[in-house]
Amino acid sequence: MQSLLVITNSDAGTSDEENLALALGVLRQEASVEVARTSNPGELDGVLHRAGGRTVVVAGGDGSMHAVITALHKRHELADTTLGLLPMGTGNDFARGNDIPLEIEDAARLVLSGEARPVDLIIDETGNIVVNNVHVGVGAQASRRGARWKSRLGSVGVGKVNLGKLGYPIGAALSAFHPPEWRLRVELDGKVVNDVDTPVLMVAIGNGGNVGGGTELNPDADTEDGLLDVMVSRAVEPLAKLGYVLRLRKGEHDQRDDVLSLRGTSVKVSGDEFWLSADGEISGPERSRSWRLERAAYSMILPA
């Protein structure tokens, strides 16, 4: 019998508790399950201390995945841990990008029957990790604005329809009215692919492809391929910005002539002061930041 440690947010709302109950009903048919509720990094660290080699199942969204993987990385236990995911967040971008079902009972069945496979991770020069995607420029600006709208709308909904999911699209729309441009040097595996004399609208570095609840920012990114997908948008003229946004909504922006789509294992961005959004967490301002891919950093239960 499988032994699972399910980690959830102790501040979860009623709908999350209902979803968790449905998932646990499936899991407990075939596995031994302990549920641990945490509300801060200290509690999370204490829970992971007693994991004892069990499969760690994250019941939450992208932020919860980021928190658990960060804690395991700091404990130097990530490489020896197998994780599962019950997607209960607003955007669930990591789940989308890895074909993990968004229906909670289907996700629970996957935890029981899926295949544990090695998954890549992004690590920056300060030791911080990125599970899914990091982007700078107008996308981070959209996330900063979208976060405010997400918090305003997050509690508004009917049934399974939660208006908090509109946060990123609203932020992107607001940013599109007055999107600035940045003069940034982008280096991929030590080679300059964009210099400061060519302004950019945004730079996205993807381990996974989706952000903001399903926007395919790096459409071809794959968490198992050992490569970072890097997108550099040079769409800074007014009509180009509009065209870029319209194609972005369809996941076709990478087909534009003013968009670079590249792959590599390390990226450095420097130049104008910029904010960044890493797994939805906003930080900055920065003048320089670099990231590298750590291949097969941990195991994740995924569809066979």
Distance, CA of 184 to CA of 2 (rounded, Å) = 49
Q: Residue 42: count other Cβ atoms within 10 Å of its Cβ.
A: 10
The answer to whether residues 277 and 285 touch, using CB atoms and an 8 Å cutoff, is no
Q: Calculate the average pLDDT of the chain.
A: 88
Q: Around 36, how many Cα atoms within 13 Å sit in the side-chain half-sphere?
A: 20
Alpha helices in the chain (DSSP H): 14-27, 41-49, 62-74, 93-97, 104-113, 138-153, 167-177, 238-250
What residues have CB less than 8 Å from 157, skipping those under 6 apart?
163, 164
Give Cα separations from 252 to 56, 206, 259 (angstroms): 36, 16, 10
The pLDDT confidence band at residue 174, using thresholds 50, 70 and 90, is very low
pLDDT given for residue 245 in this prediction: 84
Q: Cα dihedral angle (90, 96, 98, 102), rounded to 10 degrees?
A: 70
87: cis peptide before it, omega within 30°? no
Choose the weakest-confidence range: 62-76, 94-108, 146-160, 203-217. 146-160
Would the pLDDT of 285 be above 80?
Answer: yes
Q: Cα dihedral angle (180, 93, 149, 43), rounded to 10 degrees?
A: -120
Q: Which helix (H) or strand (E) element contains residue 22?
A: helix 14-27
- Rg (Cα) of the chain, in Å, rounded? 19
Would the pLDDT of 45 be above 90?
Answer: yes
Would the pLDDT of 256 be above 90?
Answer: yes
The pLDDT confidence band at residue 153, using thresholds 50, 70 and 90, is very low
The answer to whether residues 111 and 193 touch, using CB atoms and an 8 Å cutoff, is no
Coil/strand/helix, residue 304: coil
Would the pLDDT of 12 be above 50?
Answer: yes
Domains, the chain, ordered by start? 2-113 (3.40.50.10330), 129-295 (2.60.200.40)
Structure tokens, 22: 């449905």
Strand spans (E) along 20-148: 31-38, 55-60, 82-87, 115-124, 129-130, 133-137
Give Cα separations from 182 to 52, 193, 238, 255, 290 (angstroms): 47, 15, 15, 21, 17
The answer to whether residues 293 and 281 touch, using CB atoms and an 8 Å cutoff, is no
Distance, CA of 181 to CA of 247 (rounded, Å) = 19
Choose the weakest-confidence range: 121-125, 220-224, 267-271, 281-285. 281-285
Distance, CA of 54 to CA of 258 (rounded, Å) = 47
Give Cα separations from 72 to 88, 122, 246 (angstroms): 20, 14, 39
pTM of this structure = 0.87
pLDDT given for residue 4 in this prediction: 98
